[in-house]
Amino acid sequence: MSRIGSLLLFGLLLTATTVTAQDRFEAMQYGFVVDERDRPVPDIEVRGLWKPEYRSPFGSSLGITRTDQEGKFVVPLPAGNVSGIEFLASDGNGLAGYVKRGTTRIGEPVWEPAKVVLKPCRRYDVQVKDAEGNPSEGIHVSVMPEFLGEFVQQTDAQGKATIRAPTEHKADAILAWDKERGMDYAAFDRFGKVEPGRISPMHSETVQMKLVPWKTYPIQVVDLDEQPIVQAALTPEWVHLPRRLTPIPSGTLMTAYTDDKGWAKVRIPEDSLIPSIGVQKPGYYTHKVLSNIVQSKAPIKMVPLVPVKGTILNPDGSPAEGVPVNCSGSNEPTSGFSSYDRTDNEGKFYLEVPGNSYAIVFAKTEALAAPVKPLVIHHDQPLEPITLTLKPMARVFGKLADRNGQPLKMEKLSFHRIDGKGGKYFETLPVDQRLKNGPRHSFTSERYNTKSDEQGNYEVLLGQGQYEIRLRNRTQHQELMVDSEEPKKLDLRNEAFPERVLSGHVVTVEGSGCSAARARVQGLAQSHRSSKEFYYATFQMSCDEKGNFETKPLGYPYVVTVKSRDGKCQGLAFVPPDTDEFDILLAAPIKATGTLVEQNGTPVANRPITAIVEFEFNGEVHSATAKWGTTTDAQGRFELTGLVAGQKCSVRVLREAQPGEIGQRLEFAFHFTTQENNASQYLGEVKVASPKK
C-alpha cells in the first residue's frame, strides 16, 4: 500500500484507524515499559500512534498491543515514510507513560527501542456549563489528542469531572463536547508564557468551560461523474472559537459520514471560523476542501486513485533494488500530491496516485538519479508500466555572495526539481493528449539542500533535469538546467533586501468598539520572489496595551494582519521592504452586498465568487492570503461577509476549463475598496465583462 502525500489535512492527523492484516509493513518498532524504579512492567496495554510523513493526507494509524512478561512490546510500522510516532502505556489505575519518537524514512534503520516509564498522571479538574450558565451533566471531557481514549470522562450532575493525562504528554487542549449540545475547549500554552485564552499545563484550579452550540452545514460528496459517494468521512481541519486565541485540531470529534445520496451534516460550533474540511474515502484521493467551497454549498468531487507501476534499472541495465521512487504532481479538483515507494529485488515499484492529474516520476540514490518521467494520468484509463534508468549525478558548485559581492558564510540554499520545459511541459502537449479539466501544471517534485562554507563556497550533486534555486530567506528565485553528467560551475548572489525591525501601531476608528490592547499580530511573506501571494507565516506576537509592537530583524516585504483579543475586529496592511514604521487599522469586519450582472444586464446567477485583497508592489499586483467566498443567487445577488476594512478587493468569478484548457479560467472580475467606518457596504448593480485575453 503506497503512502500518498500533500500539503493538506493537518486536522486529519488525529483520525485514527486500527491496523489490519491488509496493511503493508517494512519495519517493527520495539520497546519496553518500566516503572519509576526501572523495573519491567508486564501485561500493560501499549498504544502506538503514527502518521505518514508531513506531505501525507492519510490519517494516523493506531496499533494496540501488550507487554510480555519482560515488559517488552512490538508495534509494526507501515511502508513509506512515517513521523510523529507516539507510544502510550497505562495500567488503568492512575499510572501512565508516554514517549514520542522522530521520523523514519524508507531504507533507514529502525531506532533504538522506545522506553516508556509509568508515572502518576497529571490531574485536571473541569466544570462544564451550558450556554445559559447551568451545569451540564453527561458531557465528555478529555485532553487532546483524542487517542488517549481511556482518559475520557463524563461530567456529573454538577457538571464536574476529573481527567488525567501522562506527565510527559504535551496536550493541545482540554476538550468538552457532546454530539447534541455543543463543545468548548481550553488550549494549553506551549511556549512557557501564558497568553490570553490559554492555560498553563501546570494549571491547578478548576477549568471553567461553557458549551457553544453546534451549527450544521450540509455537504454533498460525489465522484468525477457526479455520482454520490457513500460513507465518505468529512472532518473539519480545526476549530477556532471567537473568544479563544488559539485554534485546535478537531480530530474525529466533528467527523461526519455521507449517506446513500452522498450528503453529510458537518457540525461546527456557532460563531466559529469555518475551517477547511478533510474528505476521506478508501480508493479515492484524500484532500482538503477550502472554507469558501463549504460556504458555496457546491458538491465536493473526489478523485479515484490510479496505479502507477514500473521498473528502475541501474546504469548497466540490471534491476535497481531498494531505490526510493516518487510520483509528484497536481490534481483537479484537489491540489498537489506525492506518492512514495521503494523498489523490490527485481527493481519494480508500485504507487497509487489521484487520477485527473499531471505528474512526474523520479528515482534517485546518493550518487545516481533517473531523468524525470512526465505523466498524464486519466481517472478512467490505466497507465502502461514505465521504466527509468539511473544515471550518475552532476556536481554543481560555485560561490554564494550577498548583493554587494561579499561571501555568504554557512548560508543554506536548496535546489527544487521542477517539471520539464520551465514548468510548462504539459501545455506543449497536443490538445487531444491533455486532460479535459486539468489542473494547474507547475509544481516542485524534489529538493536538494546544501550550505556554503566559511569562504562562501558550495557544492551539490544533482540529477539531470530542471531546478529552481531558493536561498534561506525564500525570496531568491532562479532556474537551472542540468542536462549532462559534466560538472557545472554556478556563482549565485543573494539580492535580498536589508533586514530591518518593523515597528507597528494598531489604530482604531473612534466609536467602532474595537480595542488594540493586546491584539494579536501575524506577519505573512512570499514563499519566494516569483510568488505574487503573501501567505507564508513568519512571526506572531501580541501588541502591548497601547497597540504597539516591534518585530525581530526582517529582510523582505510583508503583509501584516491583526485581530483583536475578542476576535471581533481585524485589520491588514502591506509593508514594503523600505518601510520600518507603519500603522495598521483595526476595525469590525465589512459586509459587502450587491448584484452581479453581465454587460447586457443578464444576472451572473448561482455562481461561486471569491474576494481577495490586492495591492501593487514593484509595478506588479500582489495578493494577501485572506480570501472570502460566496455564491450569487438566481438574480445575481451576493453577500460577502468578514472583509477587512480599508482594503482594495478583487472579486473573481471562475468557470470550468473547456476541452484543451488546463485549470479553471477567470470569467469575470471587478474591484472595489472596503470602507473604514461602515460595517455594511452596498455596491449596487455591478456590471462585469470577461477579461481581455
Q: What residue has cell string 454587460?
A: 599
**pLDDT score of 398 more than 90:** yes
What does the pLDDT look like over 369-384, one tens digit per residue?
A: 998 888 888 888 899 9
Confidence bin at 641 (pLDDT 50/70/90): confident
- Cell numbers linked to 687: 456590471
For domain 214-301, give the CATH number.
2.60.40
Average pLDDT, integer, range 199-215: 84
Position 464 scores a pLDDT of 86
Q: Which residue has the higher pLDDT, 291 or 670?
A: 670
What is the C-alpha to C-alpha distance for residues 274 and 289, in angstroms, rounded to an integer? 11
**pLDDT score of 61 more than 90:** no
For domain 305-392, give the CATH number.
2.60.40.1120
Can 3-120 and 503-586 be said to share one CATH topology? yes
Q: Classify residue 620 as exposed, middle or buried by CB count within 10 Å of its CB (0-12, 13-18, 19+).
A: exposed
Q: Classify residue 651 as exposed, middle or buried by CB count within 10 Å of its CB (0-12, 13-18, 19+).
A: buried
Confidence bin at 308 (pLDDT 50/70/90): very high
The contacts of residue 26 (CB under 8 Å, 6+ apart) are 77, 78, 79, 80, 106, 342
Q: SS3 for 119?
A: strand
Mind giving me the DSSP string for 389-412? E-EEPEEEEEEEEETTS-B-TT-E
**pLDDT score of 7 more than 50:** no
Position 528 scores a pLDDT of 54
Residue 171: HSE in the Cβ half-sphere, 13 Å Cα cutoff: 31
306-320, 529-543, 662-676: which has the highest mean pLDDT?
306-320
Position 660 scores a pLDDT of 46
Position 665 scores a pLDDT of 57
Confidence bin at 670 (pLDDT 50/70/90): confident
Position 192 scores a pLDDT of 45
Short-list 232, 190, 178, CA closest to 12:
232
Phi then psi for residue 422, to 5 deg, are 65, 30
Position 419 scores a pLDDT of 59
**Omega before 608 within 30 of 0, i.e. cis:** no
Among the residue ranges 9-13, 231-235, 460-464, the one predicted with the least confidence is 9-13
- Cell numbers linked to 411: 548560508
Position 447 scores a pLDDT of 79
Asked if residue 137 lies in contact with residue 180, where contact means CB atoms within 8 angstroms, the answer is no
Phi-psi region of 15 (alpha: psi -120 to 50; beta: other; left: phi over 0): beta
The contacts of residue 308 (CB under 8 Å, 6+ apart) are 327, 339, 350, 351, 352, 353, 359, 361, 375, 377, 383, 386
- Name the CATH superfamily housing domain 3-120: Carboxypeptidase-like, regulatory domain (2.60.40.1120)
The CATH class, in words, for 122-210 is: mainly beta
What does the pLDDT look like over 429-484, one tens digit per residue?
A: 777 777 766 655 555 567 788 999 999 999 999 988 888 888 765 445 688 889 88
- Write a three-state SS string for 274-294: CCCEEEECCCECCEEECHHHH
154-163, 496-505, 531-540, 652-661: which has the highest mean pLDDT?
154-163
Largest Cα–Cα distance in the chain? 83
**pLDDT score of 536 more than 90:** no
For domain 503-586, give the CATH number.
2.60.40.1120
Asked if residue 96 lies in contact with residue 89, where contact means CB atoms within 8 angstroms, the answer is yes
Short-list 597, 626, 596, CA closest to 611:
626
Confidence bin at 10 (pLDDT 50/70/90): very low
- Cell numbers linked to 250: 478537531
For domain 394-493, give the CATH number.
2.60.40.1120
Average pLDDT, integer, range 82-100: 79
For the chain, give every domain's residue range: 3-120, 122-210, 214-301, 305-392, 394-493, 503-586, 590-688
Short-list 24, 31, 38, 140, CA closest to 82:
24
Phi-psi region of 232 (alpha: psi -120 to 50; beta: other; left: phi over 0): beta
- Cell numbers linked to 582: 507603519
Quick one: fold of 590-688? Immunoglobulin-like (2.60.40)
pTM of the predicted structure, to 2 decimals? 0.60
Q: SS3 for 236?
A: strand
Position 662 scores a pLDDT of 43
**pLDDT score of 59 more than 50:** no
Position 246 scores a pLDDT of 67
